[in-house]
Structures are given as C-alpha cells and as structure tokens.
Structure 1
C-alpha cells in the first residue's frame, strides 16, 4: 500500500530511521566531498523500504536537523518522509566498563512550530561544571569549553567539536530539567542506549542501582537485540518486579547511526526500526505507552495471510452512505459511535460482502440487514483483500440461503453471542463450538478423513465402544446362565427327594405286583421283569434317537436361516459400517460368512441315520390277532425291537394272570413301574446336571469377572481417545498465561453411584435388619467401596473392588430379596435381574468438560460464558485465520471482567487474525490498543428514509480520533485510569 493510500487506515507498520547522522555532524563526520550533502539527501530518498520518519542525530545541537528540514520544507526533498525530528545525542557523566560514557538521546517532537527555539532553551539550561567554571549546552558555550580545555586549539569549529567531547550531562540535572520544564515533558522522549556505550556498559555492583535509575527514567531504549526487546517488553521478569525496577515497559528503537554515506539507512543485518501508527511523532509517544508498537527487524510482524485480510469496503448504490469507501486496518479494528449511528450497519455490510450473513434472515430480526431491508434492494458491497482480489456482493444475493457459499469471514452477531451465553440451557451449542475448535486443532493429516469432532471421535472410539457393548451383552448372558446354575444347585436336595420318592413308588408297585403272581408262575414273573427291564432300556434308545432327530431338524432350520437371512445382513452391515475402507464390490465377496465343509450333506446323512435308528428300535407293531411267538431263553432281550418286547410283555402278563381283573391290575402296576422308572431316570439326569452346576458356575463367574473387567478396559480406552483428541488444546492451555490459563479441558470417568444404588434398592427389602436396612444404605456402601475404583481405577482394580464387595455383602443381599424363595419361578426371575443390576455398567460413562477458573461451563454465568466463547475464537481457534467480526461482545460482561479478561484476548488476537469489532466499551478500544478506530455518525433521520451515515477512521495516535473516543465511549474506573494514560489527556 502506497503512503498516500494509507489515510484513515489507522495504525500500520511504518519504517523509521530514528538515529542517523548527516554531513556536518559534530563528531566523527566521515561524509566526504563537495557533494556530500546532495548525496546524503538522495540516499535518504532512495532507501527501500521508504523512510517515513527520520530522526536526524547530532551531539548537543540541531544544526544538521535544521538544514535537512529546510531542504524538505523549501526544496520539496524527501517526498516519502512525512516527519523529521531532531535526535540530540548526549553523554551522561557516567563511565562505562570500557572507559566510554553512557549515551542518552533526546527525541524531540517537531509538532510545535517553535520546537527548535524551545529545544535550544531547554539545552541552554543544561550545564557542565569543569575547569573552575560552568558551561551551558549551547554552541557558543561548547566552543568556549573546547578552547579552555585545550588552549592549543585555534579553530572555532574544532573547539566546538572538542568541547562536545568534554561536555557531560549530570543525570540528576537531566531529571531536574524534565521536572521543571513542562515543554520538555510534553515534547521530548528520553532514550538510552543499551549497548557498550549505554547502560549495559555500566559495571555491576556499585553502578547497578545507578544503571537501573537511568533505565527507569528513560522512555525508550536503543537496541536491536531480540533478547533486549523481550526484556524491555517486560517478558523476562514478573510484572510487579519489572515495574518496581524499571517503571513501565519500553519500546526498542534502532537506527543506522550513520556517520558516512554507505551506512545511511543501512543498519547492520537490516535491523530496521518499525513503528506502528501514523508517520508522526505521536506514534512514537503511543509506542512508549504500548511498546509492542515498536519492532526491530528486516520486516515488521504480520498477522493473518494476505488472502485473509480485508483492506477496504465500498458501499455501492447507497445514497445514505455519506462515506461509501472505508479503508480497513489488517489488525484490530473497532467501530464506535452513539447508539443508532450505523456501527452494526458497517459490520453487517462487511459480513454480507464476505458471504457470512447468518441465515435465514427472518430469524435475526434485530439485525441491520433485516430492519433496513426495504432500503437495501439495490445496495452492493465490494470487499478488497490484501492479496489484491476483490469480492462484490449485492445484499439481495448475500441474504439468500445458499448452502454452497464459502464464508470468507466469521461473524459473531450479538444475537449469536446472547444465545450461546444465555442461562436457559444452550450450553450444548457452546460445547459444540468447543468441539469444533478441538477438531480444528488437529491437522488435516491426523483427522483420518473425518469432517467434524463427532466423526473423529466415532472413528477413534468406535472399536472400544463396540467392545464395551459386546462385553455388556456378555455380562447379561453370563448373569442369566449363572442364575440358572444357582437354581440348579438349589434344586439338588429337591431332586434327590423326588428320585427317592419315585424309586419307592417303583418298589411299592413291584411288591404289589408280586402278590398278583401265583406260586407256580414265579419263573414267568421273573421273565416278565427281565423283559420289562429290557423294554425300558430300548425305550431309552428310542428317546435318544428321537431327540437327536429333532435336534438335527432344528439345526437344519438354523443353518438355512443363517444362510438366507443372518449372513447377508451381517455382510450388509459390515459394508455400511466400513464403506470408507476402500474395498470394492468384488472385494467384499470373501467377507460373506458360511459354514465350513458339506454342512447340508452332513445334516441330511445324520438325520437319515437318526430316523433309521428310531425305526429300527421301535420295530414293527405285532398283530394282536396272531398268536405271539415266545422269545427264546437265549435271546438277548436288550437288543430286541421295542414292539417285540412289548408283545412279549403282554403274552407273559396273560400267562401269569388268567382272570381279566387280575390281568388288568398287573398291567396297571407294570405301567406305573415303567412310568415312575422313567421319571426317576430323568430326575437322575437332572441331578447329575445340578451337581455339576457349582463347577460350571465357578467358570461362568470367572468369565463374568473377565467381561466386567473388559468393559472397563473399553471405558479406559475411550478415555485415552478423548485425552488424545484434547491433547493439542490442553498443551496450548497448559503453556498459556493469564485469562487463557483459566480455561481447562478435562476428560473423566463418571460413575452415577446414586443411580446404581437406587436401582439396586428395587431388589432389596429395606425393612429387613442388616447393613441394607433403610433407604440410602446401599448407596453409602457403594460410595465407600466402589466409587473410587469406578472413577479412577484400572480395569483390574474395578474387578477386584466388585469381587470384594460381593464377598462382603453377597449373602446378605441375596437374603434380603424382596421375592420369597417359596415362589421358585418369581425368585428365579429375581436372581437373574439382580445379577444384571449388580454387574450393570450403564451408570458408567466417559465425559469431557470445559472448565473456566475451576467451574464447569454448564454452571457459569452468562457473562463468564461470553468470556469462554471469546477465548475460543480469539485464542484457541488457531486454525481459522479468516477475519473475525464481532458485534458488541461486552453486552453480557461487567467493566472489570472486560478489563481483566477480554482486553488481553483482543490484544493478542490481532497478531494472528484480523478482528473487526463493534463496541461501546472504552476498554475494548483503548486498552486493547486498537489499530484502527472507525467512528460512525448518523445524520438527521427523515421518516421513510435512511439517515445519512458517515465514517471517520484513524488510529489512537491521531488527536482527533482520541478526542472522539473520549467523547463517545464509557467504561469502568480502571478503564478511565488506563484511558487517561494511553490518550495522554486529563479526564
């Protein structure tokens, strides 16, 4: 941007040359030749970057300054230079370790037309006592001092130069001059050199205190060392210690200190001096107040990239826009004015030009664009960017809801801030903003294709969450099975009793049947018993193969269902879930699940064999009309078909019992013996199963403990994922001082012990005596013995804690059941539900929280939420360097919070991104050291028309802008105090 184009843009970096000598300089003049002066001026004019402010330096006098000023004013020389000022170099009466003297510089404002006369008057009051005489700091007196100090000198010029080497300024007298002369205080800035010819040259020890006094008195330091700049900005000492030792922070300046042509404007290493502000001496005054406005280096500091910096806004086709073209500073821009003056209008017009209007507009009825929509039909906005491009948008286009538009700025409207900071439950939206910033803190290369926080979290935590679901399902199934095994164990005594009863019933029937057998038929009866026992054995074979047949049929159905329904659905779910895996259609074919080998053929073959076995053991039913053929005595009865055996039983029964009544009684008893025997056999099988339940229960219990531990391993893994997601932000916060350091992100396990205990109380009779009597006792025990492990223990520690809890309380809990064991079915259901509750984990979750100054964001006041919101955008959102436009961020905050919390945020944010802010608050204009102030003013309002709106812009280093700021803005007591210091006015 050319110098002439920077009017109104406010404070921008400009190159200064605050320390350059000229031909004729009093000491060490190495400018040679008759054309030395012309060459010198031409050299100054041709320097790049252009010198906009030049401090012409000489020892104890201003002759060379006056000559260069005359060349500029009367000969139109130095066209790029706006301001020339005298830099009077002097030596204090303090020796350095190198045998030199400490140099100080009087940087004198040229604003007063009589500044040379006033400066010479001040110099004439500085005296030097020597040779039993006192000499003033004037050309005549310096000449007199030279002659007297060296009588061999004959030339007045030589005497003056020698006198200048001898004249030393008393530090006490220098302080007295500034105490006594108002003009000196108002127009002279004292700078001290920090090198070997400055305070660094003072010896430690006895001179350390004196050195500090000199440095404390000075308002600026000549040094090009980055370490010195950091020191004098107050960054290397605690604030209170720095203030006590050195007063206020100080800007560092650097010049070429040229005594010869080649070095003019060419400091070593291109360590140029830059001052942010207008090219006026006032900018140096402002730099003394805000030393960050001064920088030494080849190029000045930059903020956002040029493509993300607005340099101007033009309002087209708006007759009411009295100032249709407004330059915009690349740093912190504040728009101020009385209410209704057009502040928000300018901000929203810039927003419209950047395609960042919050839509739909009907939901933002307080906005300027909505309220003034009838007057904006033909209005267009043209945004100029530092990279050289420009965007022009009609208001009509900018307010159409286009989801594909690229927002070139970020806009925090007053309504948006109010909504996110309100106390009526919108903290979720604020948390979404936090998550967005956390997501943006990860580089694109580490996002694994995720487009937002939830997607990235799901991507990284899905495996652990699904593992938890699987293990929680396993816990439920295992608890069911353990409940079943407990029931089986409890049934042992009952089964044993039932078996005994059945065996006794068989014995009684056998005895009774024996009485029906005649003495001569005893042998036949014994044969009948043998055949009946064989028939029972064969019936077992038939039952076995019949059950096998049904099992094979059911398994066949399961296989068919798996192939027809389950396997295709599993494949569809996998493809949907892992659609981004890069697998093509053909790649998915091997993922289809099926049974290994010839499953269908195996099932058909086994089914045929089972059916054949059933048919074989049943045999062919015997025709009752055909006389039965007796089985031979050598026949192996247990290998005969059931039909044959049953026929033999009928035949033998008929032999034993001739009369029909006895025969029927005998058959009845035989059937009872057969039935009771079958029941006894089934009960014995159940008893065997029940006896083995205890051992199986131990295995299942161990498996449940493993599943319980696995659930917490998945929980802890999700904790690690969240901690990894927040790591970049947490690292930044841990290293941040001040307000940003109050913000913290915590990932923690949450255990709702009260929820768990309350659910458990539904299973326990709280009236029974014992440790669980009364509501709340279960919570107290869980709180004492489980909470700590649930919240912070390892998976193993959680498992151990639950095991210890069960060991101590399991029997009492079971005995306190609300369901009586006299109702086995209900008690069985109670046991299963109890186990599911005991090992349930739905009360365990992993949560992250945002805390400010130790308080969770959900519990913050609306005002403090506003601070957190601005922390996000101003300090944490490092990835977004678009212009940030904010409308009245102070609305929810008290003046002290603004001064303490927000001022540092805005002051730092402008070094990273362009910030444009509408505000009424003085803190946010002055104490943030705003780079540009745009003052809005509305003219007379005519009904049915827009009032004319004008904008006056500039920087705090411009007196007119300072007066307008004082007249318009309000603030708290601290703001007024700081304002007076920064604006150099009496309030």
Structure 2
C-alpha cells in the first residue's frame, strides 16, 4: 500500500438521477443512458457521486446497478444523499436537510431505511413513517383521486415534513447513524437556512446549522464565514455552531441539460482518497480539504514539487518507488526505521546536503547517508519533478555540490538545526539565515542588483560609512591642531620670561658698547646706532623674503609629488569606493584632481620675485673711498636705502671710533651681537604673540571639533536609518501579523560599548595611581555610562554633541590630571595628548546592530528549542520567496507537545499551501493537527551483518483507516489526538 495520500478530486455531492421522486425532467426515453454518458464525459471528471433523492434510496440503488455493468469507470465512490424537508419554513419553501450516508457498511441500505423509518409525520388523524410504503399511503390520503403508486409516492413526498427535534433525537440515539451519516443543510435563502430569519426565529436557524456537518452553498462569502474568516472567529464558530463546516455545492440536476454542470462551474473539490472517510476529514478540516470553484486550490508550482522518488542499485530499499504528495508529507516510524534515510535521500537528490553534511563524522552524525557511507555502494536516487524533469544523484555524495549544481530544496537536517540553534549559531548561521530572508523579502528592483544581503547592506550604507570615516579623520586632524595650540598656550609664561631676559641681555650689550665710545666720537656713534637700526629692519625683511622663497620651493616639490602619486592614488581610492558607477577609464579621468591654475609658472615667478626683492634689499656695496668722507649724507632717508651701503657706512664709522684696534673690534663684535639678539628677540616676540592667540584659536577649533563630532553621528544615524529601511518590509509584515508570527520582531539600534571605550583609557591612557576622581578602576566607565551612553545609543546628533560638550566641561580637567606625563615633558605630553583626544572623540566603540527578538527576548538569550521555533518561523512563515521543497528532520526536537501545537501547527498548514513540505517527525500533533496530506510509514528489518537493514515504506492519507491505525500505534499521543479532534468536530473517525 503506497500512494500519494490526500489529493484533490472533484465530487458531485448533490445530483439527482432519472426517476427522482420530485421534479423529474430527465425524460422517459432511455434517460439513464444519456444521463450516464453525460456524467462520463464531464470535464473535469467526477470521481465521487452522492446520488440524491427525496426520503428514499431508489435512484441510488439503480445507480449502483449501472456501475456494476461497467458504466462510470472514473467514479470510484458512490453513496446515497437522502433529501428531507424539515417542518421549518424558509423564504419560499421549507429548509432542506440531506443525509449523506457512508457506503462502507455492506448493510448500509437496510440500516439507512431503519433510521428513516423512525421519522414520522402526523396527519389525517394518523402517523406515517418515512418509508416508501408509508409515503404512498400519505399521498393517497392527501389526494384521494390518486390511484397510481408512483404518483402517490410523489404526492406523499411533497406532504411529508420532518420534525427537526425528532430528526436530532433519532440521529443522537443511533450509534450507527452517528458513525455513518453526515448531515448537510442547504445554505440558500429559498430552501435553506438563509431564508429562515425571514420566516422563523433565528434561534431555529442556528440550531439547524449547529446540527449540520456540511453546508450546501457555493457562495464564497458563506465559505469564508464557515471557516472563520468572516464576521466570526473559529472560536466563536465552535461556541455557537460546534465548529467550522465545509461548504459543498452540487449541480442539483433534475434534467439532462444540467447534469454535473453547476452554475458558473462552481464544482466541489475534496482533498483525500475517494472514500467516505475523506468527506469526514473535510468536516474536520473544512479550510484545507473542501473547496468550491472551477479549479481546486493551487499549492506549490508543479516544477517545484518532487512527485516521485526511485532508488537504484539499493538492495536495502525494499520499496524502490515512492510517490510524493505536493503538500505536507509526514515521514513517521519507530526509531531506526529509516525515516531520516528517506529525508536524506530526497535531499541528496535535490543537491540540498551541504559539503559539511557530507563530510561529517560518521560516528556522531545523525545523517543516515553519512553513517552508512561505507555501505551505500553504487546506490543512487532519481527524483521526478512535477514538471517532468528528472535528476539522478549517487547516495555516497560523489557527485554532490558540483560547480553546476544548486540546491533544489531547503533541507533542515538535525545537524543543520542543531548548529543554527547552538550558542555559536545564534551569531553566525541563524543570523545569516535571517539576513537571507530579509534580503529575499525585497523585490528584485529594490535589491539594486546586489547578490546577497551583505552586498545590499553595503550599497545602502557605504555612503554614510564613508562620511563617518571622513569626519572621523577630520576630528583626528583637528585634535592634533588643538594639541598644538594647547602646547603653545603652555609656553606663554616661559616665552614671556625669555623675552624679558632677551631684552635685558640686549640692554647689557648696549651699555657695554657705550663704554667703548672714545671722547669726541659721540656723533659718529649716534650715527652708527641709527644705521644699525635701519640695517636690522632690512635684515628682517630679507629674512622674510628668504622664508617665502623656501616655501615656494617646497610647494614646487609638493606639486610634483601630488601629480606623480597623490592625485592618482586619490582617484584609485574613489574608484574602489564607488566601483558600481559603471564609468569607463576615460570618464574616470575627469575625476583626476588637477590644479586650477598654472601653479608651475606661478611658483617660478614667485621664487624669482623673492630673489629680486632680496637683491633689492641687499643692494650693491659702494666702491672704497676716502674713510673720512661719509658714504651716506646725513639728510638721506635711510628707509629708502638697501643694506649694502648702510653696512659699508657702519664699517667706515667703526674705523673712526678710536685708534685702538682692539676697541674697534670689540665695538664691531658688540654691534653684531646686538643685531643677532634683536633678531632673536623679534622671533621670540612673534612666538609669544602667537602663543597668546592660541587660547582663542583653540576654542574655535574645539567648537569646530564639536560640530564635526556631531556630523559623525549624523552619518551614524543615517546609516542606522538606512538599515531600518532595509529591514522595513519584514518588520512591517511582522507588525501586522498575529499569533506566533507576531512574537518575532526586528529592531535596529546603536550599541555603545562603553566598557571597552572606558577600559582602554583606564589601562592605556590614564595614570590611575594619581589621586583624583578617576583613581578607582571602573570609575571612568561609570561616569561615561551615566553621561554619554544614553545619548550615544538613542540621542540625535545634536544631543550627542551636547552630551560630549557637557562631559568635557565636567570631567576634562580631572582626566588631564591623570595624565601620565607633566606638560613640562613636552615631547611625551604632546604625543599623549594626541592619543587622548583621538580616544575621547573616537567612535570605534559605536556600532549599529539589528536585534531579533522572540516574545520580547533577544534570540541570543533563548533556549535552543525556542531558537528552533524562530528558525521554523523563518522557513515556514517568512521565507515567501523560496518556493522550493522544504525538508525538515524532526522539527519538534527540544519542544514540548504544547509548543509544537501552539507554535508550529498553524505554520505548517500555511506553508503547505505555498510549497511542498516533507518532514520527519515523532509528534502526533504535527501529523494529525496539521492534517498531513501524505503519511509515509518507514519500517526497517533486522540489521544485516556487514550491510544495511532492509527498509520498506507504506504511504497514504489520514482518511485511510489503516494509516490512522499506524499513526496511533507509532506516535505517542496519536490516539488521543484523533479522539480530541473527532470530539470537537462531532465526526466519528475510527483510527
């Protein structure tokens, strides 16, 4: 016994036949031949027929006779539909009730008639039973002119009304009836319950509908109502009507033209074997097993469904051919029976076993193929797909994972689930799978040609990461400049002292020089002093021009370097950052940085200009002349003269100061020394002026750094928003979901690792041995956690900037007091202060992370079993883009039975409507409450020495009593699950 289990078949649950008691319009000339030929030619073909007549089974019995003669070869199930009229008025008539009788009992006809006989109608001072003979009597009593029994039967049928309370009592008092009869009631307004509210009390309508197992209606609105998708919930249906109910619709044919042709092709489809048990199953699972429409509900795409598995060269496979249902396939069996073997074989045929799975240790791996690797031999498996394609794969993995292969199914093996749900898997495999689902939730257009989540994330965030890097580099540069300004500030006092000392030194030299003046040469000395001042001013100008010239030469070197290496490298870096631009080499050349003007010409001119200016200031020395004749007239404007004649005049005067050569040399030496010290003094005064301005510049730079720090966080927040937008489609779906799916949530947030940030400073930057507020270990971390962490993690850029400014205002002096070097140790303190600033304004400790929570708990903190639920949520409910078969080995591992029912059952039901699901399970709830479409039962024989045990399989649907029996015997709690299911739905279903 092996078949595909529950598949959709067209049923005709309400059709009359020639000879029907009322409204027989089939004709009188061989109506059965035409009737049967019409049924046989119907498209889509009818495979189950409920032959309908009023109060009796005559046409059903005749229908069976024609079947015996070979007619209706495609019809596998025929059963009686006995139509009764209740004594409850509807809009234009009376409410019709149908007794659908199982033909399984060989005595079902006699038993049905015995049940009908218990229904009575009282009239004319007499009691009439619901039998053929009594209906004829009723007809003749109601119309005394009738003589013919046929006419009397028809007349009696129009008069006989069944009391609803009596019908309920008769059914309730008969175990046979409860087991073999399903009640259907018309849902229309003319002869159904929809018309009751206009002619009778609504309570009566509700009681009739509660009594019924099936509603005869083709209305989509009624179907939605009766499966809990419109106005009332499933729980309300259970409370008010004792459960959901399937809607079915037949042609209700009373003539040849309408045989098997309901209005608008609203055919009845039931999923299951062509047995009455399939109809019982439809009453238990109306949404999944009954449908009215031109075609049955679609599920997985045929090309994505494995329809058949064939073993080759595998003598251990007793059942070499196994057909598979396109819906939910449950593989069950005792431990060691070969359940995982079949799942492994199917996965291998789909190239769905990972290289790690094939290479696993055969001594510890739960995989059948891995453990049996040495015994598999040349065995292979051929899978046939619904579209007709076939693939053959060796079962030892020799042809697995080739460069042209790709997994045609998703296989959640025990090993795979254990790895993804382990502590390591939380941060690796499980997150990778979540990211894949997030990526797949975006349309192809939204993916921007990215191949995977990582690439898409980089595309969406690269711009902001680059901005963050640029601003961080700017902060580092500004911090270096601030450190320089701080160093200058610290030099004000020492430079001021040096200036004063230098002035005293010059004054001393000047006094010494005055003592060398010979009496009578005072006028020459005064003139010399005047000339010396003019010369000092000229030398200062010449030095300035020389400094400019050196700068121009250095700029020429930098220009050459920028052209040769700097600009090309910058272009290469831009190309690397924007490699998706699609620009060709010529287009990229436009981005090569070049100088706006002709800097070579300009710098050459600037250098020549500086040389010319120095030449002008130096001038040309005058030719030697009479030492007693002045080279420069007294009334000459010295500011207009170059340096050379002034120096020559000074030398002439020095020769006149005295006859003593030694004194003249001392005077000349002091003159040079005074000139040198005056130059040094000017340099010191310039530095002092620069140092006094450092405080103002530092404050400006600090403001600039604060603003730049804010821009860093603008980039970080922009990246955070980009990531949130990336996860938005999935987050939006989760927020609008209900039940289990709503428990799963995603959030994108900033994480500030204050511990690492503070610990680095405490260990690497601060001397905690010094007394101060940050003496103790962790004190800095505590202060930052309180003052900075909230803003870092949730604040706007402005709030982060303000928090850092406040933190520095409060703690900077304290932090500097713990510096390991004194400011007087200039070299060491300078290097330390730069490192300190880079740390303080660094953002390496700020990360953007998305968190996945289940029922409010981060997945990193969930138990392995609950992480398994998250994993199944991904594959069963969220992975919409993947329509490949989903193969799962024991999804209930680590879950208690309640969790299996509460968390997984609904997900499996939803998933099997979109893709083929094949699962190995020990759990009865996952088989029974998901209404598995096919049950494959594995059984292994005795283990052979040096070989594999023989493994056989049987398969069928839950509507098969033999399969149900096996389910109860193998799966713990199976019988209880069946009983509870039947009790809730009032449908008797033997195990």
Within a 5 Å distance, the mapping from 1:72-471 to structure 2 comes to 72=67, 74-96=68-90, 98-196=91-189, 197-203=191-197, 207-236=201-230, 237-291=232-286, 292-359=288-355, 361-363=358-360, 365=362, 366=365, 367-395=367-395, 399-424=399-424, 427-471=427-471
Partner of 1:924 in structure 2? 926
Partner of 2:498 in structure 1? 498
C-alpha distance in 2 between matches for 1:171 and 1:680: 123
C-alpha distance in 2 between matches for 1:43 and 1:629: 147
Check conservation: 2:410, 2:887, Cα contact below 8 A.
Answer: yes
Counterpart of 1:25 (choices 20, 23, 26) is: 20
C-alpha distance in 2 between matches for 1:771 and 1:897: 53
Check conservation: 1:896, 1:974, Cα contact below 8 A.
Answer: no
C-alpha distance in 2 between matches for 1:628 and 1:189: 147
C-alpha distance in 2 between matches for 1:79 and 1:833: 91
Partner of 2:840 in structure 1? 838
Check conservation: 2:426, 2:859, Cα contact below 8 A.
Answer: no
C-alpha distance in 2 between matches for 1:986 and 1:25: 33
The aligned length equals: 980
User: For 1:892, what is the secondary structure of its paired residue?
Assistant: coil
Encode CA deviations 1:651-698: one digit per residue, 9 max, x unaligned.
Answer: 433432543454454345434432332222112222333344344334
1:952 maps to 2:959? no
Quote the offset at 1:471 in angstroms. 0.7
Quote the offset at 1:624 in angstroms. 11
Check conservation: 2:95, 2:192, Cα contact below 8 A.
Answer: yes
User: For 2:967, what is the secondary structure of its paired residue?
Assistant: helix
1:549 maps to 2:587? no
Check conservation: 1:896, 1:972, Cα contact below 8 A.
Answer: no
User: For 2:106, what is the secondary structure of its paired residue?
Assistant: coil
User: For 1:461, what is the secondary structure of its paired residue?
Assistant: helix
Most deviating of 402-411 and 953-962: 402-411
Quote the offset at 1:308 in angstroms. 0.7
Quote the offset at 1:619 in angstroms. 5.6
User: For 1:890, what is the secondary structure of its paired residue?
Assistant: coil
Encode CA deviations 1:29-66: one digit per residue, 9 max, x unaligned.
Answer: 22223122221111111111111111111121111111
Most deviating of 918-927 and 616-625: 616-625
| Cα RMSD (Å) | 2.9
Check conservation: 2:99, 2:184, Cα contact below 8 A.
Answer: yes
Check conservation: 1:11, 1:954, Cα contact below 8 A.
Answer: yes
Partner of 1:727 in structure 2? 728
1:655 maps to 2:656? yes
C-alpha distance in 2 between matches for 1:903 and 1:383: 28
Partner of 1:3 in structure 2? none
User: For 2:245, what is the secondary structure of its paired residue?
Assistant: coil
C-alpha distance in 1 between matches for 2:2 and 2:952: 16
- Cα gap change, 1:209/1:934 in structure 2, threshold over 3 Å: closer, same or farther? same
C-alpha distance in 1 between matches for 2:197 and 2:653: 135
Q: Normalised by the size of structure 2, how large is the TM-score?
A: 0.93
Quote the offset at 1:937 in angstroms. 1.7
- Cα gap change, 1:977/1:823 in structure 2, threshold over 3 Å: closer, same or farther? farther
Partner of 1:743 in structure 2? 744
- Cα gap change, 1:122/1:971 in structure 2, threshold over 3 Å: closer, same or farther? closer
- Cα gap change, 1:231/1:819 in structure 2, threshold over 3 Å: closer, same or farther? farther
- Cα gap change, 1:276/1:425 in structure 2, threshold over 3 Å: closer, same or farther? closer
Quote the offset at 1:376 in angstroms. 3.4
Quote the offset at 1:784 in angstroms. 4.1
User: For 2:603, what is the secondary structure of its paired residue?
Assistant: helix
C-alpha distance in 2 between matches for 1:892 and 1:948: 30
- Cα gap change, 1:263/1:649 in structure 2, threshold over 3 Å: closer, same or farther? same
Partner of 2:864 in structure 1? 862
1:45 maps to 2:47? no
1:70 maps to 2:70? no
Check conservation: 2:348, 2:400, Cα contact below 8 A.
Answer: no
Check conservation: 1:383, 1:390, Cα contact below 8 A.
Answer: yes
Structure 2: gaps of 5 or more residues: none
Check conservation: 1:336, 1:918, Cα contact below 8 A.
Answer: yes
Quote the offset at 1:206 in angstroms. 7.9
Counterpart of 1:967 (choices 966, 969, 974) is: 969
C-alpha distance in 1 between matches for 2:628 and 2:888: 109
C-alpha distance in 1 between matches for 2:34 and 2:400: 62
Check conservation: 1:409, 1:884, Cα contact below 8 A.
Answer: yes
- Cα gap change, 1:801/1:140 in structure 2, threshold over 3 Å: closer, same or farther? same
Check conservation: 1:20, 1:265, Cα contact below 8 A.
Answer: yes
- Cα gap change, 1:209/1:784 in structure 2, threshold over 3 Å: closer, same or farther? farther
Check conservation: 2:89, 2:200, Cα contact below 8 A.
Answer: no
C-alpha distance in 1 between matches for 2:964 and 2:51: 28
C-alpha distance in 2 between matches for 1:657 and 1:210: 146
Encode CA deviations 1:130-184: one digit per residue, 9 max, x unaligned.
Answer: 4443322112222233333344544433332232233222222222222210001
Most deviating of 635-644 and 725-734: 635-644
Quote the offset at 1:15 in angstroms. 0.5
User: For 2:355, what is the secondary structure of its paired residue?
Assistant: coil
